[in-house]
Structure 1
């Protein structure tokens, strides 16, 4: 319950369902021999690993849950790396093999012992760490009901950290690592401040379930949440996040309980983000800006979170060795920020050192929409004009020819004046991308067959009211506490947050703003969409004169002392 709000649950699938791929409840100890392999074409183990399966622990309320512990075969106490998610600690209902090309993760990049999206015991045990895989409350054989990014899940994580640290084989220090769900829960658990949590490494997660996950811009986005709810396996139930998003479309105490207090995170953090993941980019980068700058590092990569985690194991090892084991290994000289800058059609920059994020040298620059010419201009058009598109299927594109090399690095805001001819609401989907000299889009590829359309934003018009305490010039944040219906024939101002991006544009190329009434994202984003955007009739975008429709972007130029020319 959250202020008398009933939390909905659904029954979980039985772990014995063949699609779940559970290996059964088998408490006991096994020694995995050096040189052995545990998946087709997987990397062999570099050392003997002691596996304690289905180890029981009790949470503070008496609920029994089960863990697997992987350790190098030594009597020396070791720090532990904890991986937290309900996906299955011994294989489970989701794994890389279900994605085309394994989502970019080569079979030889992992051993098969890893939890999906988590650190590989084969690597970490070989470098002097134990790895702990948890089946949280309600997962598989663990008792209770699965929690979904709730305060109870964070409390359970706190309890597990302290239990692990108290084990004879543990050196009183626990770190956390992993992608997505495993990153979201790192933020949550760290915010409860377990005394023995030594460090976190959240690889692309979010910190606001409502704004980043289920109702981005007030628009239902439930494909992924629905998939994970249906696929979940356990003896009990799972919190029905999709049902709650449909039943409670506005911000309330239930959704507020799923916003992490990032300022409460006090441990060292290695934060990883990308520009191409519209599920994780905003939340990850926003969280980083709220951490203690003396204890936090950021790297923004140019690929996809799954292969990146395994490609940068050595980098994470150096971080953990320094902040967890206290090694003087040179990590302290690592730039606090390392950025990639995407250059579709050219060559990306990778691991570029920066003093901080957002970039202090980036200058807010307004590019004004001109509906009369479908262009972006550096000066506001004096004449009021408008452009229309069919709300359910149409798009509008505004572009601008770049006259010298620039970069756009950071969050953006698109302000548009919208009018509808029917109905009381509308959903807008916007993209900021680059195109070649002929106007053909130049797109980055997340992995094979999955292009990124550029920076993405969306907003339901009735949710346009901003939260003045959270909003900044480049990052408008909607309150989502009440609906403001539209009236046909009346233009309203909408400030749409376009998630952060890092993109290079060269002289002669074009910067484009695409506005649509439907989601244009292909690939994995089809999984997180939620069908029709509930649009109808015609959308009209007003520009010029009293209608200051514009894109506000953070521009970096080679001539930093001069006002940027576009």
Structure 2
């Protein structure tokens, strides 16, 4: 068992010593809302974390919505360099946003307290240990941080203004931590709503298919370290009092001692070892009501799949990472969920479809409801690859054996279907099985599933963090090719990632590619699907013919949709060799697609 619940006596001891100090009550400027700023709450080791409490002015017992993050509970999005672009996109998408709220308390990836307090909720936003006004060592997703969260939840449930029920709401970091703390089963936790958060710390955060995700360095350097407690040079501004909200200044040496660089830590743990086991929760212990909001381009249906909650719902959407969270539709969904589980409202939530997916097509999107995931009417279809012709189709199962090679550092190979003769929907997890070889002892596989229009242009979609992404992306370091059959399905291979098995140059090996997310697309008549296999991050070149799908109104750019950025950890002599894909008969390689029978 990866998490241990606090014994009742120990929990009572911790709560007894977790009473707040003197709150700094600030004039909120919002009628009917009390704002307690920088309230100290004592953790189990005696350290005080700082929280902001937004609550109704009218006395009573109210349910609590809580989040805990590293981005600054007092950092306004419009003021911080790291968030200005996100704020501009948000206001462009919802120009009336600040007519429904003062927007003074909106924080990056966090709910707007004003919109919730007015509906009878208390919102508590905490700075994680080592960030903002909370002192200590900054160590994202660590067991210590998760224990802090559990302490805060139970403290909030026992305050005189609380109804005793706590829900968790937030995106990304503040969604990932929800899964972690839910497995601790803290007293008072009544429901969670992780909005686009990863679950598996190795496969979804640290390593994609066994390949180190160095993109976290940008996140760490630009969004987290500037807000470290004690950082006197932070560009972040305290939107409440002005100045800095990072506590007493610390020396550069002490600041470095007080933080754990996640990319450095990940690089020291290339396999799925105890480091990740301590940070990936035990799904059998997640039993609270759960609404998992995922994205087709990143994060994550896995929490929904593994959680033991009997009352759980999945919603998969398209679009960017931030703006959908603040839409009126999203707010209404969030309130219906929490009204039901935190207030006991008889609002029909129990009849809400357990699964809702936003089906994509080049000219827009539509919603589909279902009772399970994958969708019950899924028919799995194998599109066999032919290295000789560069084509793929269900009819190529008996194609003659063929091989084709490519430079690992080059543009790789692309396999393309014939134009579809009928409109066809594929919605669900996908799989790719290849027979591969290399001139070196290892190779990295980056797979991209693409949609090609009748003019030969790539149809791109709005991604989690980029405006132009393909239908799906998959990864595998072939030395990590071992599969645990008991934990795998054909559409979801489970690689244990426990050891490295070098390749023998010139020998062929079966490789099942990890796709961290499912996909959804209605392929119109005359369009084609393409599968690109290469040894580097997939991206669209400056002269690539692309057309943006009408899923969101965004300017046309040539952004590639990369998540990994650069790969300084990859040795060119090892990962830049001549790589080979074999197809046909005993080396049948194929793309597995989730065809929706009701659309056939």
Question: What TM-score, normalized to structure 2?
Answer: 0.82
Residues 353-403 of structure 1: CA deviation (Å, up to 9, x unaligned) = 111211121011111000111000213143111122221022211111223
2:400 aligned with 1:400, yes or no? Answer: no
| Counterpart for residue 86 of structure 1 | 70
Matches of 2:389 and 2:459, distance apart in 1: 22
Q: Indicate which of 226, 229, 233 corresponds to 1:234.
A: 229
Q: Distance in 2 between matches of 1:221 and 1:500?
A: 19
Q: Which moved more, 1:399-408 or 1:320-329?
A: 399-408
Q: Which moved more, 1:108-117 or 1:365-374?
A: 108-117
Alignment of 1:151-190 (within 5 A): 151-190=143-182
Question: Which residues in structure 2 correspond to 1:345-424 (within 5 Å)?
Answer: 346-350=363-367, 352-379=368-395, 380-401=397-418, 402-421=420-439, 423-424=440-441
Q: Is the 8 A contact 2:388 2:403 kept in 1?
A: yes
Match of residue 236 from structure 2: none
SS in 2 for 1:428: strand
Point out where structure 2 has 5 or more consecutive residues left out of the alignment. 3-20, 231-254, 541-558
Residue in structure 2 matched with residue 556 of structure 1 by the alignment = 596
Match status 1:290 vs 2:285: no
Q: Does 1:333 align with 2:375?
A: no
Contact 1:407-1:505 at 8 Å conserved across structures? yes
Matched, 1:148 2:148: no
Aligned residue among 259, 271, 293 for 1:272 = 293
Asked if structure 1 preserves the Cα contact closer than 8 Å seen for 2:321 and 2:465, the reply is: no
Instruction: Indicate if the aligned counterparts of 2:289 and 2:309 stay in contact, CA closer than 8 A.
Output: no
Deviation at 1:143, TM superposition (A): 2.6
Asked if structure 1 preserves the Cα contact closer than 8 Å seen for 2:392 and 2:416, the reply is yes
| Runs of 4+ off more than 6 Å | none
1:193 aligns with 2:209: no
Assess, with a 3 A threshold, how the Cα gap between structure 1 residues 495 and 95 changes in structure 2: closer, same or farther.
same
Q: In the alignment, does 2:532 pair up with 1:514?
A: yes
Question: Hey, what's the Cα distance between the residues in 2 that align with 1:448 and 1:160?
Answer: 31
* Unaligned segments of structure 1, at least 5 residues: 3-24, 35-46, 561-566
Q: How far apart are residue 211 of structure 1 and its match?
A: 0.9
Q: Is 1:505 matched up with 2:541? A: no
User: Residue 337 of structure 2: SS of its match in structure 1?
Assistant: helix
The reply on whether 1:540 has 2:556 as its aligned counterpart is no
Judged with a 3 Å threshold, the aligned counterparts in structure 2 of structure 1 residues 365 and 272 are, in CA distance, closer, same or farther, namely: same
Give the match for residue 199 of structure 2: 207
Measured after TM superposition, the shift of residue 476 of structure 1 is: 0.7
For these two proteins, the number of residue pairs brought into alignment is 517
Name the counterpart of 1:18.
Answer: none
Q: Choose from 487, 490, 512 the match for 1:495.
A: 512
Q: Does 1:316 align with 2:346?
A: no
Deviation of 1:234 (Å):
1.5
Q: Aligned match of 1:112 in 86, 99, 104? A: 104
Partner of 1:17: none
2:215 is matched with 223
Rounded Cα–Cα distance in structure 2 between residues aligned with 1:119 and 1:107: 17
Instruction: Say if 1:419 and 1:492, in contact at 8 Å, map to a contact too.
Output: yes
Q: Which digits, 9 at most, give the CA deviation of each residue in 1:333-368, with x for residues without a partner?
A: 221111111112x22113x21112111210111110
CA contact (8 A) 2:191 2:290 kept: yes
Partners of 1:528 and 1:108 in 2: how far apart? Answer: 35
Specify the alignment match of 1:245 in structure 2.
Answer: 266
In 1, the alpha carbon distance for the partners of 2:87 and 2:119 equals 31
User: Which among 445, 468, 471 is matched to residue 485 of structure 2?
Assistant: 468
d(CA) in 2 for partners of 1:105, 1:169:
36
Shift of 1:515: 0.8
Number of the residue aligned with 1:529: 565
Distance 1:49 1:384, change over 3 A: same
In the alignment, does 2:88 pair up with 1:71? no
